[in-house]
Every structure is written in structure tokens, then in C-alpha cells.
Amino acid sequence: MMPVGTAGDSSYSVNNNGAAAKNSLDKDDFLKLLITELRYQDAMNPMNDREFMSQMAQMSSLEQMQNLNKTVEEGLLTIAQSRNNLEEGMFTVLEAMINQSYFNNFNQSMNLLGREVTYLSGDQEIEGTVTALKQVDGCYLAVVNGEEVALTQITLVK
């Protein structure tokens, strides 16, 4: 037989062949309590209809709250998984954009080899032929007349 706590007692335990103790009532436990109450009620003073309907309404409310709780938990889990997937996707796209930018910069630099260019050095415009390319910190520099020139300094390509 199962021990039943008082109305203010929020915990109880059931031990059926080593089953773990629980700290909350679910709808099955509520039904067991209601059936036990009906079974052992005083035949001369039975539960009135209002009490029975009230307890059934409480059981229905309990079930609805449990279903709502489950739905909210599943929704939050889905949101968290979506956020993780979005972050992973953003990192993948960002990585692809960086790689694409690197290769575009490389291709533009390669097209300058052997070409005559004009670039700014201070306030002067200097002309010369690109004889080499040099990579410094991920950026390409054109070597013109023995001087390293950033691609952003080049104003004209012939």
C-alpha cells in the first residue's frame, strides 16, 4: 500500500520493487488518489457531486499544465538548436567569404605582374613596372622600381 501525505505535504514516496522516490504528483498519481478516496469513502456520507467535479477539473488542469510545460520545453530546445545551427552556418559563410576575398586579392595581384602602373608615394605620382608580388600579413604588395607598394596606392594600370 502507498503512504499518502497530508494536503500540505508536497513529497511522498512509492517503493514498488526498487522504484525511485518521486517528489511530484502526475495525473496517474492523482487518479490513484481519487480512486482510493472513492473506494474508502464513508457510505453514510459519500462525496458530493461538487467535490467530485472539482477534483476532476483539478486533474484536467494538471494534465493541461503538464502538456503545456512539455510543449514549452520542446519549443525552447528547438530554439536553442536553431540558434546553434544558425551560428555554425554564419561561421561557415564568414569563412567562405574570407577565403573568397583572399583568392580575389591574389588574382588581382597576379594580373599586375609585368604591367606598368602609376602609384602615389606621398604627394608624388610615380610610374614603374610591377616586377614581383610580396605577401605581408595576408595582404599583397606590388614591387615597383624596387619599392614595396600597397595595392591601394596604385592609381593607374596600363
Burial of 31 (0-12, 13-18, 19+ CB in 10 A): middle
Helix (H, G, I), strand (E, B) or coil at 113: coil
Quick one: how many helices (H) and strands (E) in the chain? 2, 5
Q: pLDDT digit string (tens) for 88-119?
A: 999 888 888 877 776 777 777 788 889 999 99
Helix (H, G, I), strand (E, B) or coil at 53: helix
pLDDT for 20 equals 52
Q: pLDDT band for position 70 (50/70/90)? A: very high
Q: pLDDT band for position 81 (50/70/90)? A: very high
Q: pLDDT digit string (tens) for 15-42?
A: 455 455 566 667 788 778 878 887 877 7
Q: Cβ atoms within 10 A of the Cβ of 149, count?
A: 21
Helix (H, G, I), strand (E, B) or coil at 26: coil
pLDDT for 30 equals 75
Contacts of 15 (CB under 8 A, 6+ apart): 21
Section 43-65 average pLDDT: 79
Domain ranges in the chain are 27-97, 114-157
pLDDT for 54 equals 83
pLDDT: is 3 or 24 the higher one?
A: 24
According to DSSP, the residues that pair with 143 across neighbouring strands are 132, 148
Distance CA 100, CA 87 (A): 20
pLDDT for 23 equals 65
pLDDT for 11 equals 45
Q: pLDDT band for position 130 (50/70/90)? A: very high
With beta carbons less than 8 A apart as the criterion, state whether 109 and 140 touch: yes
Report the percent of the chain where pLDDT is more than 70. 82
